[in-house]
Amino acid sequence: MTDIAAQSLEIARKWASEPFDADTRAEVQALIDANDIETIKNRFGASMQFGTAGLRGVMGAGRTMMNAYMIAKATQALALCLEEEYGDEAVHRGVVVGYDCRHNSEKFARVTAGVLAANGIQVYLYDRLTPTNLVPFAIRKMGAFAGVMVTSSHNPKVYNGYKVFWSNGAQIISPVDAQVASRMDKLDDIGNRALTVEEGVERGLIRILSDDMIDAYTDWVVKSAVHTGANDVDIVYTPLGGTGWACAKASFDRAGFKKVRVVEEEKTPSGDFAGLDAPNPERPDTWPRALKLAKEVNAEIVLANDGDADRLGVAIPVNGEYKILGGNQIGALMLNYIIENLPEDKRNTDSFAICSVVSSPLTRAICENAGVDFQETLTGFKWMGNVADERVKRGQHFLFAYEEAFGFTYSDARDKDGIISVLLLAELAADCKAKGKRVIDVLDEIYLKNGIHFEDAAERFYEGLSGKDTMANVLANLRNNPPHAIAGIDVVRVRDLLNSRTIDLKTGAAEPVIHLPKQDMLTFYLADNSWISLRPSGTEPKLKSYLGVIGHASKEEYPVIKAALEAKLARIKAAVKEML
């Protein structure tokens, strides 16, 4: 037996003993009895790390798994961070805590509230499951110092997570994430003190958030989303068995949408997500029931939130079938609609939009043609939300932010919000109808004006303790030995964010990248303006690739050029899969 196996087994034996609870002891003892050394190593050979705005992982017993002990450990670290780094103001302004419908989410939220309260920190705990967006909304509305949402968003149902927001309503970034992580690393797996929620309420350390806050959120959604007041459109909506329906329905009702049908089988929130493997509208296997209903009722737009309703998927009728739009297409439609309805005095470079480095260059083109400013950030709303907040503080006007992974936001939100996105897309479709157009017509107009941009993605999972090292090695090999052609197209430049430089492969000249922080990410720019970006996921053990092609066409050439670009994109995707 290797040293790591022996050490893992020793830790596992501790978890199979008191004071760990009976269910945990039984789960770990079963692994020991089965001599399942590989699983024991994966669960006890390392410890869960506080990463992208918090924690995320598969639920189960162990130091690398999502369970009440890791939740308590992370929360104790957060409490120490608030007390030691930010003092009385953080303690008194307090922390908002919410949870979604995943298995154990309510339990984990109650543990979170109890640990914070035991440290004397004021807690505002929702009395029911909610979309993630309700936590940053309450932070901003009440002036809380931070927030925790127990959710794993769109991930498979075996996952859960712990997302931390800061006082501006955005996800935490440096130095806060490192301040929490360093404290978590020093804590024991068990023994972190906690009150029950009932004790916290009795002592005045836990206040319950209920109808008033949810009503205020719905009012804000309608105020933010309604631009023209158009609302005559046939809609099919699904929350994919997640938390979205109550807030979406209230928003539709208040905005005057009368023709909304919900997918009944997916309406009720449940940790089983109506039998779906993952409540993720990016996945084609989540759409069949919604599209079946859409065909039956001849819906003009189909809208799908993910499990915690911070993402949005869209399908529209095209040539008698329903086309599921990509995140970049949805983002282009939303940005274009917001700009179209922007007052003239806001159509200048003091107004700005943001997208991530792996999202479509179409965003930049739309902004430049409209005369508004554009900025790209690293992937993730923790970057976009904080950039937006800083620019607004300097007196600039925030228009829109999005990432290709179906995350969108606008108004004064600082994190992706699937509910305000649902309502904006509903109004956009109604506005198209009022003007005698279809949504696909508007998308075609955007392409003709700004260039045809098609994107796709590919990924590969790397499981186990060695997964992270394997991913790093793949990227290191590509960094040190970049391909000179992909799918038969010359690679002309490589942007390497880990080393903050862009290299011209023909001349060897290097240009510094100064507008983005360091990240283990490579982007290959091809001779025909196609592009490929590679990076490890921040939340799952997988290497992600993003790819795009660009072309221009007149109205007469448009169908032919579109088909040629789609074929090229397929060839590039096949080549990239071989690289992973």
Is residue 458 one of the residues assigned to a domain? yes
> Could you tell me if residue 359 is inside a domain?
yes
Angle, helix 439-450 to helix 327-340, in steps of 10 degrees: 90
- The model scores a pTM over 0.85: yes
- 8 A C-beta contact, residue 53 and residue 164: yes
Give the residue from 180, 209, 238 where a domain finishes: 209
Give me the numbers of helices (H) and strands (E) for the chain, helices first please: 19, 23
Q: Which of 178, 209, 240 is the last residue of a domain?
A: 209
| % of the chain at pLDDT higher than 90 | 94
- pLDDT of 463: 80
> What Å distances lie between residue 396 and 76, 349, 352, 420, 505, CA to CA?
37, 9, 8, 21, 38
428 and 459 together in one domain: no
Measured CA distances, 214 to 133, 253, 295, 468 (Å): 10, 14, 33, 40
Name the phi and psi angles at 44, rounded to 5: -125, 0
The verdict on whether 359 is a catalytic residue reads no
Residue 15 lies in a domain: no
As a whole number of angstroms, the distance between CA 406 and CA 416 comes to: 9
Q: Note the pLDDT tens digit of each residue in 374-432.
A: 999 999 999 999 999 999 999 999 999 999 999 999 999 999 999 999 999 999 999 99
Q: pLDDT, tens digit, for every residue of 122-159?
A: 999 999 999 999 999 999 999 999 999 999 999 999 99
403 plus 502 within the same structural domain: no
Do residues 506 and 433 both lie within one domain?
no
Question: Residue 469 — very low, low, confident or very high, per pLDDT cuts 50/70/90?
Answer: confident
User: What CATH number does the domain containing 290 carry?
Assistant: 3.40.120.10
Q: What is the pLDDT of residues 246-302, one digit of tens each?
A: 999 999 999 999 999 999 999 999 999 999 999 999 999 999 999 999 999 999 999
Tell me how far apart the alpha carbons of residues 332 and 315 are, in angstroms, rounded to a whole number: 14
Q: How far, in Å, CA of 280 to CA of 287, rounded?
A: 9
Give the model's pLDDT for residue 315: 98
Residue 146 lies in a domain: yes
Residue 568 has pLDDT above 70, yes or no: yes
Q: Of 417, 450, 483, at which residue does a domain stop? A: 450
Calpha distance 387→427 (Å, rounded): 27
**29 located within any domain:** no
Strand, helix or coil for residue 89? helix
Nearest to 179 by CA among 90, 66, 259, 273: 90
245 shares its domain with 171: no
Question: 274 and 152 share a domain?
Answer: no
Same domain, 185 and 270: no
Domain ranges, residue 490: 452-579
Contacts of 515 (CB under 8 A, 6+ apart): 376
CATH number of domain containing 547? 3.30.310
Q: Which of 317-326, 346-355, 383-392, 456-465 has the lowest mean pLDDT?
A: 456-465
Average confidence (pLDDT) over 95-113 = 98
CB 557 within 8 A of CB 370: no
pLDDT at 534 over 80: yes
CB 544 within 8 A of CB 534: yes
CA distances 118 to 73, 75, 195, Å, are 13, 11, 5
pLDDT band at 537 (very low <50, low <70, confident <90, very high): confident
Lowest mean pLDDT among 45-54, 55-64, 158-167, 336-345: 45-54
pLDDT score at 92 = 98
Average confidence (pLDDT) over 210-214: 97
Q: Are residues 204 and 258 in the same domain?
A: no
Give DSSP secondary structure letters for 514-530. Answer: -SS---S-EEEEETTS-
Residue 503, both tokens: 């290299």
- The catalytic residue among 8, 105, 152, 153 is 153
Indicate whether 551 and 564 sit together in one domain. yes
Q: Number of structural domains, the chain?
A: 3
Whether residue 271 is found in the same domain as residue 350:
yes
Phi, psi of 22 (to 5 degrees): -65, -40
Is residue 89 domain-shared with residue 122, that is, in the same domain? yes
Whether 38 is in a domain gets the answer: no
Average pLDDT over all residues of the chain: 96
1 pLDDT higher than 80: no
Write down the pLDDT at residue 540: 73
Identify the pLDDT of residue 539: 67
Residues 442 and 421 in one domain: yes
pLDDT digits (tens, 9 = 90+) for 170-209: 999 999 999 999 999 999 999 999 999 999 999 999 999 9
What is the average per-residue pLDDT within 40-57? 91
Tell me if 34 is assigned to some domain.
no
Contacts of 353 (CB under 8 A, 6+ apart): 335, 363, 366, 367, 372, 373, 374, 375, 399, 400, 401
Looking at 439-448, 463-472, 528-537, which range is the least confident one? 463-472
Contact 143, 114 (CB under 8 A): no
Percentage of the chain lying above the pLDDT 70 cut: 99
Q: Are 187 and 76 in contact (CB under 8 A)?
A: yes
For residue 178, what are the contacts with CB-CB under 8 A and spacing of at least 6?
Answer: none
Per-residue confidence (pLDDT) for residue 48, from 0 to 100: 92
Cβ atoms of 75 and 180 closer than 8 Å? no
Asked whether residue 74 falls in the same domain as residue 129, the answer is yes
SS (H, E, C) 11-76: HHHHHCCCCCCHHHHHHHHHHHHCCCHHHHHHHHCCCCCCECCEEEEEECCCCCCECHHHHHHHHH
Would you say residue 349 lies in a domain?
A: yes
Q: What is the pLDDT of residue 51?
A: 81
